Amino acid sequence: MSKVIISVNNLVKSYGSFEAVKNISFDVMEGEIFGLLGPNGAGKSTTLEIIETLREKTSGTIIVDGLDLDKNPNDIKKIIGVQLQTSGYYPNLKLTELIQLFSGLYNRTVDAMELLDSVNLRDKANSKVKELSGGQRQRFSIATTLINNPKIIFLDEPTTGLDPQARRNLWDLIKGLRQRGATVIITTHYMDEAEILCDRVAIMDSGKIISMASPDKLIDDLVATGFERPKQLKNASLEDVFIHLTGKEWRDD
């Protein structure tokens, strides 16, 4: 039996008179990849940033690995890794220098080369962030979430804007985080990605969770209602054609 690592109960967030998160409750299990899906404005970032201790909630309770967000926010910060947008990084520092800077902030000692190795960026150790491709930047930003060896990793649209090869490469990296025993919470607008990566997803709309289960279960439930695709799918997709023609190897190195 896996254990609950994040428990959100009756979470509400209001911005003035507007309720962005409307009394939602959900659990995330230890070691799973949990997807938070939904259209823009659904309340995903607000929810995640509250759990990440970066935003104040209006009401509700949140327990992260046994720690109450209201009482122990600093202890929660120590066990989570939050992916920041790479545009916020100092563009003129080398990757190794940035890792030293971040590990100083976390009060940790890390082997920068080993960390870069884990995201396949050893060769770029002396490059600056501005010299990296989109896929490399995303991998680097994931590396920075690992500095404090977190139990829980939050990834916000980690593959947006990447080409199909780089996207697959990131999927392997994210699956690797789960293999190492971490719990991963991810937002994405790519449903194929959620289907492949996520053990469970919660679908949010207008501040509410409107469905939550494994992708398989959600699809089976929809099919059980008699739903059919308007056109029968072929055995391959255009993306399969693209990968078949251009190969699987990464192009961003």
User: Is 243 near ligand ADP (CB under 6 A)?
Assistant: no
User: Is 43 near ligand ADP (CB under 6 A)?
Assistant: yes
Q: DSSP characters for 50-99? A: HHTTSS--SEEEEEETTEETTT-HHHHHHHEEEPPPGGGS-TTSBHHHHH
Whether the CB-CB separation of 204 and 175 falls below 8 Å is answered with no
User: Is 42 near ligand ADP (CB under 6 A)?
Assistant: yes
Conformation bin of residue 100: beta by default, left when phi > 0, alpha when psi is -120 to 50: alpha
User: Is 17 near ligand ADP (CB under 6 A)?
Assistant: no
To ligand ADP, the closest distance from the beta carbon of 36 in angstroms equals 8
Measured from the Cβ of residue 122, the count of other Cβ atoms closer than 10 Å reads 14
Number of amino acids touching ligand ADP (CB under 6 A):
10
Would you state the structure tokens that stand for residue 102, as one six-digit string? 């971040």
Whether the CB-CB separation of 156 and 124 falls below 8 Å is answered with no
By CB under 6 A, name the one of 6, 44, 81, 102 that touches ligand ADP: 44
By CB under 6 A, name the one of 45, 83, 86, 169 that touches ligand ADP: 45
Taking residues 114 to 143 in sequence order and writing x for each that binds ligand ADP by CB under 6 A, - otherwise, the string is ------------------------------
User: Is 41 near ligand ADP (CB under 6 A)?
Assistant: yes
* Strand bridging mode 67-68 / 59-64: antiparallel
- Binding residues for ligand ADP, per CB under 6 A? 15, 20, 38, 40-46
